[in-house]
Amino acid sequence: MITAVTGASGHLGVNLVRALIAHGRDVRIITHNSTLGLEDLKVERRSGDINDPDSLAGAFEGADVVYHLAAYISLLMSDRERCTAVNVEGTRNVIEACRRNNVRRLVHFSTVHALCNEPLDTPVDENRPLVESRRSAPYDLSKAAGERLVRQAAGEGVNAVIINPTGVIGPYDYKPSHFGQALIMMAEGSIPVLLEGGFDWVDARDVAEGAIKAEQAAPPGANYLLCGAWLSLKEVAAIVARIMGRKPPSLVCPFTVARASAPIVTAVSRWTGVRPIFTSVSLKALASNRNISHARATRELGYEPRPVSQTLADTIRWFEDNGFIKGRGHQQRQ
């Protein structure tokens, strides 16, 4: 039986494909413009574009299970059109291609950002409503809209399950991801000042295993928060510094100062073509709900995420081994 994966070359996708192979699956990766991190893996390759319904229908032909990870991730308020095209219309096309090919099971990767994080004084769980305020970030809105489509399809008979990961970190971060780049800068000692706040961080490998368990055991229409633990950026930087044998940054920029400078940082990044270190969207995420529950996933799937400190050690080691971190090597291992 064939397991097809969209977005296979992304950080989560590369980890998921490896996990599926380890489970003995025959994996088909649906590639659009990259196979980075997948070149040496024993997988079937099919060309496909989630914004081209006909190419998707052909790519899913004969597939028993489809994992839909392809998405456009943005930390900018100006990316509404592209987020909608990929994360909403692309998901609509994936659902229809699954219907056309009688795919037995669809596993849709959403995000914790699709769920309302307020009120902040109560834990976020799977019962939180989906984001709908137009003041929300385009990425958050688009992922919520895509998840609505999957929920609707599940109500109409599509055998779908939804995964909502938090802030994903871990090895095999080839591109690297937004926070992966921040970890590299922390390891190199090139971030002199940290931002306030933090996020719930989860290992990409744990998300992959949780998704496979959901595919195997979850009832149709179920959704699962796959989270890890909340750590401030200061705590993350301290762990990374200890791994590298460095002193962590001692300065922390208050949110008020960061918010005032975010538009300037974004404008400069557009001019230089360099991805911004922070934006107004990422600052809002760093001030979001600190308490996110994976109780349902633990109870129904046996999901147990590893400690974030272990994930950070493995991630920094992977970045070093693959030449992403410049400068002196480890002086101290966790």
C-alpha angle 223-226-229 in degrees, rounded to nearest 5: 145
Contact 241, 190 (CB under 8 A): no
Sign of the four-CA dihedral 112, 116, 119, 124: negative
The Cα–Cα gap between 134 and 132 comes to 6
Residue at token pair 């962590």: 248
Q: In the beta sheet, which residues pair with residue 31?
A: 47
Size (the chain), residues: 334
DSSP codes, 148-193: HHHHHHHHTT--EEEEEE-EEE-S---S--HHHHHHHHHHHT---E
Q: Looking at 67, 139, 172, 303, which residue is catalytic?
A: 139
Calpha distance 193→18 (Å, rounded): 36
Structure tokens at 268: 């400069």
**Residues 287/254, Cβ–Cβ less than 8 Å:** no
Residue identified by tokens 């909403």 is: 88
Label each residue of 92-148 as H, E or C. HHHHHHHHHCCCCEEEEECCHHHECCCCCCCCECCCCCECCCCCCCHHHHHHHHHHH
Answer yes or no: are the C-beta atoms of 178 and 285 closer than 8 Å: no
Q: Hey, which residues does 28 pair with through a beta bridge? A: 4, 44
Q: Is 139 a catalytic residue?
A: yes
Which residues are known catalytic residues? 139
